[in-house]
Structure 1
Amino acid sequence: MKWTEISIHTTQEAVEPVSNILHEAGASGVVIEDPSDLVKSWDTSLGEIYQLNPDDYPEEGVIIKAYLSVTSFLGETVEEIKEAINSLLLYDIDLGYNTVTISEVNEEEWATAWKKYYKPVKISEKVTITPTWEEYEPVSTDELIIELDPGMAFGTGTHPTTVMCIQALEKTVHSGGYVLDIGTGSGVLSIAAAKLGAKKVDAFDLDEVAVKSAILNVKLNKEQEKVTVKQNNLLDHVEAQADVVVANLLSEIIIRFAGDVPRVLKPGGFFITSGIIQGKKQEVKQELITQGFSIEETLEMEDWVAFIARNNG
C-alpha cells in the first residue's frame, strides 16, 4: 500500500490543535520535530538517552508529520486539513510559516519512521510512559507504568501540557476518589488517575476517534473497571460530584466552560487545567477566579502553563 506523508511547518503553540486536525482526518499518528528537543535537559534516570539528529529538525518552528493512505479522496482530504488549520487563526493561534508539503512513502517507511522518536519517559515522581513495543522494567517498587501506542492515539503522552496534568493529578488524586477527564484524547490522564488510586474515572471527548483510542488504551493498561470513556461535548448533560476535574484543552475552550465546572465538582475539589499558552495565562487565571476558584498552584513547562484550582463553592 502507498502512503502520503503530509508535513506542516508551524509553531509549538499550534502543535496540539494541528495534531488533532490530522487525527480527525484519518492519520494513525503524528511525528513532531521540535528543535527545542535538541537542547532540552532530558531525564537520565531511565538510563541512556537516545541520540537526536539535528538534521531531522527545522532551524525554527515545529514540523508536524502524519501519514495518510493514498485514495481517490486524498486531494480533498488535504484541502480540508489546510482549511481546518487556517481556521485556527480565528482563535489567535500563531501558525508560523504554516506551509504544507506532501510526499509519497512506502508502507515499510510509514510503519517505522515515527517509532524512533518514542522511548520510555519518566514524567513525574511516580509515572513513566512507555510505548507498547519497548521492553521496560520499573526502577522502583512504587513506579506506575502507562503503556501507549501512539499509532492509535493522540500523541505520545509526553507533551508538556500532558506532563503537567499528570504531575497535578499526582498531587490531587486520593485513594477512592472520583475524577472527570474532559477532552480525554488518548485517555492517558484517565489511566494515570486510575493508577494513582482513583476509584472511578469518567472520560469524555467529542471526537469519536479519540473515544475509540482512549477505550483501547484503557484496556491495554487494564483499567477498564475504573475508567469509563464516552462521547460527549465538555460537561453537557453530565451530573456528578467529582473530587477532581482535569481538562487539557485550548485556552479558549477552558474559558468557555469554566463556569460549568463548579456544578460537577465537590466544594474543596480541584480543577486541573492545561493546554494554556503563556499569552493566555492571565486571561484563564482571571476567569477561574471569577468562577469562584482559588489558584492553589501554577505549573509551567517550556511555553505552557497549567493551573491547580480549588473550588470554593
Structure 2
Amino acid sequence: MKWVEITVTTAPQAVEAVANILLECRTGGVEEAHPSAGVVRLRGYLPVGPAVEVILATIERRVRALPEFGLDIAPGRIETTVVEDSGWAHAWKNHFKPFPVGHRLWITPTWRDAPPPPERIVIRLDPGMAFGSGLHASTQLCLAVLEDRMRGGERVFDIGAGSGILSIAAAKLGASAVLAVDVDPVAVDVARQNVAHNGVASRVDVRAGNLLDGIAGRADIILANLTADIHLDFLSAAPAQMAPGGVIVASGIVADRQLEVEAVARACGLRVDEVRRDAEWRCLVLMANREQGAANRGSSGGV
C-alpha cells in the first residue's frame, strides 16, 4: 500500500497547532523530531487515495494561516513524498516509549510491556489519531498540576480531552467523577478506548461536545489544554462552572500570548494563582476572585 508522508518543519511555538492540524486531517499519530535548536519537524501519513490532494491542500492552507493567530511557523516548510511500505504509517510509534511525568505518573504506550518503576501510577495510552500522547510540554504541565493539587474526591471537567490522557490521570489520582469532552468524534472514540483500557470507565464519562456547551453542574478542576485563541472564548464561560475553591488549569499557551490570556481571565473574574513554564509553553492555574467565588457558592450540581 502506498502512503503520502507529510513533513512540516516549523517553530516550537507552532508545534501544538500544527500537530492538531495533522491529526484533524487523519494523518494518524504525529512523529515529532528536533533536528536543530529552535526547529521542530512534525511528520504524519495519509493513505494514497482520491481525497489525498484535497487533504494536503487543506493542511497547507491551515498551516499557512497560523501567523494570523500570532504563531510563528518559520521556516514553515511543508514537504510530501510517497512511500511504499505501510510500516511508515506507524513509524511514530517507534518514538513513543514509556516515560515518567512528575513524581508519580508513568506514561506507557499500550503496545509496550516493560514493567513500570515501583510506586508509579501507570497510564497506558494509544493516542491513535487524537492529540495527547503525553509527550508535549503543554500536556505534561497539566499532568504536573494534577499531581500536585489533587487530594482525592474531586469532580473534574477535561475540555478538549483528545486521547483522554488528562482524564485518565485525574481518575487515577483520585477524582470521584470526570467528564471528558472533545469536539472531534475520532478523539471521543480514542478517549473512550483509552479510558476503558485503563479501567476507569466507571468514573470517566467521555462525550462529544464543544467546550462547555450543554454541560451542567460545577467542577473542582477544569482542565483546558487549548490554544490561546480558544482560551479567549472559553474563559468567559468557565467561571460559572467552577465549584467554590475550584481551579481552571489553562494550558497550551505560548509565552508571547500569556499576558493576553491573563488579561481576559481577569476580566472574567479570575485571578492567576500559579504559572508553570516549560520552554515557550505556559500553563495558568486560575481561581475565582473573592466576589466571583461568593457568587459560585450555590449548588455545585453533578457531572
Mark yes or no: TM-score above 0.5.
yes
> SS at the partner of 2:115?
coil
**Quick one: distance in 2 between partners of 1:170 and 1:130?**
17
Which residue of 2 is the match for residue 39 of structure 1? none
* Cα distance change on mapping 1:174 and 1:164 into 2, 3 Å: same
Which residue of 2 is the match for residue 135 of structure 1? 113
**Quick one: distance in 2 between partners of 1:146 and 1:19?**
22
State the Cα distance separating 1:59 from its structure 2 match: 6.1
Which residue of 2 is the match for residue 49 of structure 1? none
Which residue of 1 is the match for residue 33 of structure 2? 33
Deviations, residues 238-285 of structure 1 (Å, cap 9, x unaligned): 121111101000111112221211111112101111001110111112
Q: Does structure 1 residue 193 correspond to structure 2 residue 170?
A: yes
Q: Does structure 1 residue 179 correspond to structure 2 residue 156?
A: yes
Q: Does structure 1 residue 153 correspond to structure 2 residue 147?
A: no
> SS at the partner of 1:253?
helix
Matches within 5 A, 1:16-31: 16-31=16-31
> SS at the partner of 1:289?
helix
Deviations, residues 276-302 of structure 1 (Å, cap 9, x unaligned): 111011111222222222222111011
State the Cα distance separating 1:58 from its structure 2 match: 4.7
**Quick one: distance in 1 between partners of 2:64 and 2:22?**
13
> SS at the partner of 1:151?
coil
Normalized against structure 1, the TM-score is what? 0.88
Q: Does structure 1 residue 72 correspond to structure 2 residue 50?
A: yes
Matches within 5 A, 1:32-181: 32-34=32-34, 57-58=35-36, 60-141=38-119, 143-181=120-158
State the Cα distance separating 1:16 from its structure 2 match: 1.1
**Quick one: distance in 1 between partners of 2:270 and 2:139?**
22
**Quick one: distance in 1 between partners of 2:129 and 2:115?**
23
* Structure 1 residue identity aligned to 2:56: V
**Quick one: distance in 1 between partners of 2:46 and 2:90?**
14
- State whether residues 123 and 158 of structure 1, in contact with CA within 8 Å, keep that contact through their aligned partners in structure 2: no
> SS at the partner of 1:212?
helix
**Quick one: distance in 1 between partners of 2:166 and 2:132?**
12
State the Cα distance separating 1:24 from its structure 2 match: 1.4
* Structure 1 residue identity aligned to 2:73: L
Normalized against structure 2, the TM-score is what? 0.91
Which residue of 1 is the match for residue 226 of structure 2? 249
> SS at the partner of 2:170?
helix
1:215 to 162, 172, 192: 192
Runs of 4+ in 1 over 4 A off after TM superposition: none
Which residue of 1 is the match for residue 297 of structure 2? none
Aligned residues between the structures? 290
Which residue of 2 is the match for residue 44 of structure 1? none
* Cα distance change on mapping 1:112 and 1:208 into 2, 3 Å: closer
State the Cα distance separating 1:118 from its structure 2 match: 1.4
**Quick one: distance in 2 between partners of 1:264 and 1:60?**
38
State the Cα distance separating 1:152 from its structure 2 match: 4.0
> SS at the partner of 1:95?
coil
**Identity fraction in percent:** 37
Deviations, residues 180-230 of structure 1 (Å, cap 9, x unaligned): 001111110101000000010001111112111111111121111111111
> SS at the partner of 1:213?
helix
Which residue of 2 is the match for residue 293 of structure 1? 270
Deviates more, 1:4-13 or 1:283-292: 283-292
State the Cα distance separating 1:89 from its structure 2 match: 2.3
- State whether residues 30 and 155 of structure 1, in contact with CA within 8 Å, keep that contact through their aligned partners in structure 2: no
* Structure 1 residue identity aligned to 2:213: D
> SS at the partner of 1:229?
strand
> SS at the partner of 1:266?
strand
**Quick one: distance in 1 between partners of 2:83 and 2:16?**
24
Structure 1: segments with no counterpart, 5+ residues: 35-56
**Quick one: distance in 2 between partners of 1:128 and 1:263?**
33
